[in-house]
Structure 1
């Protein structure tokens, strides 16, 4: 059985980030959606990476990700 995804809109919700608990969302994303594309809406779209090795790969390859 797959766990249900938390609301990805929490990624751009200042109140949630200031007063909520983001750790369950980040844990779920690491396990189920480690490279997440947050679609544009109120804010421009962006990628959210939650695994260290993915982040390190992007950071080290400015030619592709710069």
Structure 2
């Protein structure tokens, strides 16, 4: 799982809204955040702007 998180983190630097892990914008209480699949059970949840990507969660399903 750590390898997948590190791989996705590298991709987030280049383009936080496209690429592997099926990126999707979240809704409701997490509006403004995005998620990507790490594996079947876990998601990486993050927020991104022009300058920074902040990872909020890298385990479990939101």
TM norm. shorter chain > 0.5:
no
Higher strand fraction (1 or 2): 2
Structure ID, larger Rg: 1
